[in-house]
Amino acid sequence: MNPLKFYVVTDLHYFKNSLGAYGEEYERKMDFEQKCFAETQAINEAVFDWLAKQEDSDIVLVAGDLTYWGEKECNKAVSQLMRDFQEKSGKRVYLVTAGHDFDREAKSYDENGAHIIEGTKFSELYDLYKDFGYTDAIAFNREHLSYVAQLTDGVRLLVICNDMDGKRNFTYDDEFFGWIEEQAKRAKADGQMMIAMEHYPVLPGQPILALIKDARQIPAQRLVDTLADNDVHLIFTGHMHNQSINVTETAKGNKFYDVCTGSAIGCPAFMRRVTIQDEKTVKIESIPVPDFDWDKKGLSPEEYLKKQFDRMLLTYFDAMQNDPKRFLGKFGAKPTPALEKIIPFLGRRLSKMTMGGLARLLCTHAEPQVKNMLFTEFAVDMVRSVFEGNQPYKEGTPGGDTLLRIFRRLRPFVKTLKGSQGEVLDFYETMKNTVGNYGIDDYDAVLELE
């Protein structure tokens, strides 16, 4: 086979700005948002304009969450954006829809507050997006909006949709697993290399994310086995807005890679350039989202998006001190008189605590380079790095050594954690590999599939 190059973008979360994205209630909403909202139309237009100019490939994969909250006008607008992109550039788009694209209570915002606007039904998605993989598929599952596309002679793409009418991130049943396995076996019989794409990750982007039910496909291990043991060793995913590359092996010794890409409209905002060099070797490169037409107050796109991410985290700390009802509400907890006293007290303590103070509280010590850092400042950077990938807090670094001492002090009290799919996780190893990346580079890597 000849080498094949293509691009991957995900989590476009397109919102048509003219619908309304401003006002006091909008700003309160954005206090707790990782991703942008008003800016998303400008960002998406810049992304597809940039992709249209790339002469090294004519293929773009889009791994789901095409709109902000399933607004009908936004689904129409982003599908038209991609249709115009195809017509003007001559390139091909292959996409998968996801939970943000249908059956949601969509809203716009202005000076009078929030307004319910028309949403999209799952049954409407086919007609909206049929030009992006469905109509020229060599196999199509209408119920699941899943399909197989022939990217080039020798390479097929299996697109699996995690959502269907009335269900999001549903558990794949035996019938759908049978369809997936059939497509993989057919590709092998036809002498085709097959790669896959779906919205939800299959492997946790970072170990701590294994605790979150919505952070990966259900059931993950069966999907890994079904794909990898039938010669599908690579999948492209999104959903968690994190930049990561992970690998595992099945019981039969077959490798399986999950390449998860950050959202186009929120930190970390990256695209992937993928080169399939041969059936065993795939090169992954990461490219930051291009500059976009918006008043960014003198900030670069990366700085602007990072500021929104940090705003979200800092709002949690601020709400702990000053608005405990709002803080508890974000976790679905019911405010009680006791909690409304305890939460602000803890918030005030955390806002003043240094990393040295936290370490002393746990009868250990912090490295000199970080001991005077405020805990809140350190925590924001640490949490953001979990999503950005290539987490820097590794053993042998001041921040990493300090955190590892803290985790060791906590280990007698929290020996294990239970993953969302029943697996038992060692607390120390989970935390160590969450704050520090000891595996594959999350941005640029050469993957050996066999």
What domains does the chain contain, in order, with CATH numbers? 4-293 (3.60.21.10), 301-435 (no CATH)
The DSSP call for residue 232 is: -
Specify the pLDDT at position 2. Answer: 87
What single-letter amino acid sits at 42? A
Q: Tell me the pTM.
A: 0.97
CA neighbor of 407 nearest in space, from 377, 386, 428, 391: 428
CA-wise closest residue to 176 among 212, 210, 217, 211 = 217
How far is Cα 99 from Cα 90, in angstroms, rounded to an integer? 29
Question: Residue 169 has what pLDDT?
Answer: 77
d(CA 317, CA 335): 17
Residue 322, CB half-sphere, CA atoms under 13 Å: how many?
7
* DSSP assignment of 293-360: SS--TT--HHHHHHHHHHHHHHHHHHHHHH-HHHHHHHTTPPP-HHHHHHHHHHHHHHHH-BHHHHHH
Burial class (CB in 10 A: 0-12, 13-18, 19+), 33: middle
CA distance 375 to 358: 8
Residue 173 CB contacts under 8 Å (≥ 6 apart), including other chains: none
Question: For every one of its 450 residues, what pLDDT tens digit does the chain have, with 9 covering 90 and above?
Answer: 789 999 999 999 999 999 999 999 999 999 999 999 999 999 999 999 999 999 999 999 999 999 999 999 999 999 999 999 999 999 999 999 999 999 999 999 999 999 999 999 999 999 999 999 999 999 999 999 999 999 999 999 999 998 888 787 788 999 999 999 999 999 999 999 999 999 999 999 999 999 999 999 999 999 999 999 999 999 999 999 999 999 999 999 999 999 999 999 999 999 999 999 999 999 999 999 999 999 999 999 999 999 999 999 999 999 999 999 999 999 999 999 999 999 999 999 999 999 999 999 999 999 999 999 999 999 999 999 999 999 999 999 999 999 999 999 999 999 999 999 999 999 999 999 999 999 999 999 999 998
**In this predicted structure, what is the pLDDT of residue 450?**
86
The C-alpha atoms of residue 170 and residue 161 are separated, in whole angstroms, by 10
The secondary structure of 21-87 as a DSSP string is: B-SHHHHHHHTT-SB-STTHHHHHHHHHHHHHT-TT-SEEEE-S--BSS-BHHHHHHHHHHHHHHHH
What is the enclosing helix (H) or strand (E) of 375?
A: helix 375-388
DSSP line for 383-396: HHHHHHSS-B--TT
Residues 191-205: b if buried by 16+ CB within 10 A, e if exposed:
ebbbbbbbbbbbbbb
Q: Say how many Å lie between the first and final Cα of the chain, rounded.
A: 17
Length of the chain: 450
A 10 A CB-CB count for 364 gives: 14
Question: What's at 214, amino acid-wise?
Answer: D
